[in-house]
């Protein structure tokens, strides 16, 4: 199984500012995924990040708002830009299992509150 850490675990930010969330995996993985889990809402995929290429964003999410970096096979960052209270959410990264590719491992999440 993969062990995933995220930083920060939580933050309170003012509207208009940006926050970069880090995701570190203890093994090399091809794909990393970024999700949002808003209060009372289902997990929603933001984008898929491959090393060496630009991230692929899902409908409703754009690179200007959620820029993603993937500098190597164990690390990725998601930036939430120009934040508004509607961005208050838990942000999670996940990776596929190396052995059973249909299983995903999730990081502990970053709880973001925008005031």
Footprint on this chain of another protein (rule: CB under 8 A)? 4, 31, 33, 40-45, 48, 58, 92, 96-97, 100-109
Cβ closest to another protein, residue 40 vs residue 52: 40
Tokens of 39: 């209060």
- Tell me how far CA of residue 76 lies from CA of 3, 61, 93, 109, in angstroms: 14, 17, 9, 14
CB of 4 to another protein, least distance (A): 8
Cβ closest to another protein, residue 18 vs residue 62: 62
Cβ atoms of residues 46 and 78 within 8 Å: yes
CB of 74 to another protein, least distance (A): 18
- The candidate with the shortest Cα–Cα distance to 74, out of 108, 103, 32, is 32
CB of 42 to another protein, least distance (A): 4
């Amino acid at each position: 199984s993969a062990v995933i850490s995220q930083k920060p675990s939580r933050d309170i930010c003012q509207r208009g500012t940006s926050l970069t969330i880090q995701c570190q995996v203890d093994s090399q993985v091809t794909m990393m995924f970024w999700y949002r889990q808003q209060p009372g809402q289902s997990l929603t995929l933001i984008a898929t990040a491959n090393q060496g290429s630009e991230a692929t964003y899902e409908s409703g999410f754009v690179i200007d708002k959620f820029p993603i970096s993937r500098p190597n096979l164990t690390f990725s960052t998601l930036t939430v830009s120009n934040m508004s209270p509607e961005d208050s959410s838990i942000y999670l990264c996940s990776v596929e299992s190396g052995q059973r590719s249909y299983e995903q491992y999730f990081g502990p999440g970053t709880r973001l509150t925008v005031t």
